[in-house]
């Protein structure tokens, strides 16, 4: 079964009672037992639910994985991966990573006695120099949030395997449509299903996918124990959104490339971050790893942080809002949104200046999007780049 068919057919046989084409919503907290000697597979929604089960089957199939556990949010799924660590363990975390993951690693994991080292993952060969006897896991992402750098997934996975580390990769920005990290040797793939997987900005969720039965059993037990599970309706909505993932991603990619090309030639733009541009330092690696280049574009305005805010507040089709991956185009301002937890010094060190804007390019008409960007950039005074 090919990619576009999977979210429409996997785990979705016709309803047994009425042959409904769309799976019914099982909005029930509990399910009856026939007898004490006949324990049902699904008995309580914190543990499992038919809608959740279907969603897990679909996501696993799209990532070419054997097992999937879904969670109530992307951050809950990150915590599910971190639940494999114990007090005294050491985690390697990519320096170019989502601010929420950084927040957990900096503020929460040390309370549990887990050591964290922030490292650059651009060169897989440099990673071994940071590995300690107690290092158990490495977590990274790509294209990264918000700089859209691309990491050598297979190279890093190889280093992790050679040194007995669990490799965790956040595939949210690419979606399963564009790349499948398990095929490149990664142990655990993370998704915020809030984003491209659901695709309509109407549900929060997360997922962990693995080929390891042992890892899956531990993550599933964690989700059941702490109760960080999505509701049946959240799962139903996500399945509905997934049905159009393939067609949505094609339009996201087409629109994002057009937007990036326009920005690259604009006199008020200092730098564009988009792996689909030949000028991007990771262009060749992105071509090798990805089916297309995604719907995310970041850029730096010439001028000041105030100029960046002028642009962000000046669009009308692009909406000023957190999140990404929905059908509508959104503007994110990382210093006040995705990476607000970091200090300004930390952001600048990670390549997130006050002049940086992150665009989640939706599926609207690309000419309308470019016109909206043009009129917002026109509100910025003409000047040379002056730093942050």
Among residues 152, 170, 234, 282, the one annotated as catalytic is: 170
- Residues constituting the chain: 388
Token pair for 222: 């964690």
d(CA 198, CA 239): 7
Nearest to 67 by CA among 185, 217, 237, 245: 217
Question: Is 98 one of the catalytic residues?
Answer: yes
- Provide the CB-side half-sphere exposure for 214 (13 A, CA): 3
Among residues 6, 52, 136, 195, the one annotated as catalytic is: 195
Question: Is 170 one of the catalytic residues?
Answer: yes
121 to 14, 128, 144, 287, 360: CA distances (angstroms):
46, 11, 11, 19, 24
Q: Where are the beta strands (DSSP E) in the chain?
A: 67-71, 90-94, 115-119, 135-141, 166-170, 188-191, 206-210, 269-273, 296-301, 319-320, 330-332, 356-360
Considering only CA atoms, give the Rg of the chain.
21
Query: With b meaning 16 or more CB within 10 Å and e meaning fewer, what string describes 179-202?
Result: bbbbebbbbbbbbbbbbbbbbbbe
Token pair for 41: 């597979």
62 to 51, 77, 183: CA distances (angstroms):
17, 17, 11
Question: Is 248 one of the catalytic residues?
Answer: no
Among residues 98, 177, 222, 333, the one annotated as catalytic is: 98
DSSP 219-281: HHHHHHHHT----HHHHHHHHHHHTTHHHHHHHHHHHHHHHHHHHHT-TTEEEEE-TTSTTST
Question: Is 195 one of the catalytic residues?
Answer: yes
CB of 49 closer than 8 Å to CB of 26 = yes
SS3 helix, strand, coil % of the chain, rounded to 5? 35, 15, 45
Token pair for 46: 């914190």
Q: Which residues are catalytic?
A: 46, 98, 170, 195
């Amino acid at each position: 079964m090919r990619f576009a068919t999977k979210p429409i057919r996997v785990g979705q046989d016709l309803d047994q009672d009425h042959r409904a084409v769309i799976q019914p919503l099982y909005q029930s907290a509990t399910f009856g037992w026939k007898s004490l000697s006949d324990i049902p597979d699904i008995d309580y929604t914190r543990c499992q639910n038919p809608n959740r089960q279907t969603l897990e089957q679909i996501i696993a199939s799209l990532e070419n994985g054997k097992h999937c556990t879904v969670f109530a949010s992307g951050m809950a799924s990150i915590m599910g991966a971190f639940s494999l660590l114990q007090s005294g363990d050491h985690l390697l975390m990519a320096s170019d990573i989502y601010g929420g993951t950084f927040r957990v690693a900096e503020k929460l994991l040390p309370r549990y006695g887990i050591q964290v080292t922030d490292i650059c993952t651009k060169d897989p060969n440099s990673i071994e120099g940071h590995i300690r006897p107690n290092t158990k896991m490495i977590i990274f992402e790509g294209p990264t949030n918000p700089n859209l750098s691309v990491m050598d997934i297979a190279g890093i996975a190889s280093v992790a395997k050679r040194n007995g580390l669990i490799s965790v990769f956040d595939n949210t920005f690419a979606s399963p449509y564009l790349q499948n990290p398990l095929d490149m040797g990664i142990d655990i793939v993370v998704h915020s299903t809030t984003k491209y997987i659901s695709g309509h900005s109407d549900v929060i969720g997360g997922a962990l996918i693995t080929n390891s039965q042992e890892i899956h059993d531990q993550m599933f037990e964690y989700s059941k124990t702490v109760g960080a599970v999505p509701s049946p309706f959240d799962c139903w909505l996500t399945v509905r959104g997934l049905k159009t993932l393939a067609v949505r991603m094609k339009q996201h990619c087409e629109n994002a490339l057009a937007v990036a090309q326009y920005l690259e030639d604009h006199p008020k733009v200092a730098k564009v971050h988009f792996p689909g541009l030949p000028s991007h330092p990771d262009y060749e690696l992105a071509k090798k790893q990805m089916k297309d280049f995604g719907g995310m574009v970041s850029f730096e305005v010439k001028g000041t942080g105030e100029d960046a805010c002028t642009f962000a507040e000046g669009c009308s089709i692009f909406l000023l809002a957190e999140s990404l991956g929905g059908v509508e185009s959104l503007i994110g301002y990382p210093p006040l949104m995705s990476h607000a937890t970091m200090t300004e010094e930390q952001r600048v060190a990670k390549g997130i200046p006050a002049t940086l804007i992150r665009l989640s390019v939706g599926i609207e008409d690309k000419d309308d999007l470019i016109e909206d960007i043009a009129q917002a950039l026109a509100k910025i005074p003409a000047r040379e780049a002056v730093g942050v």
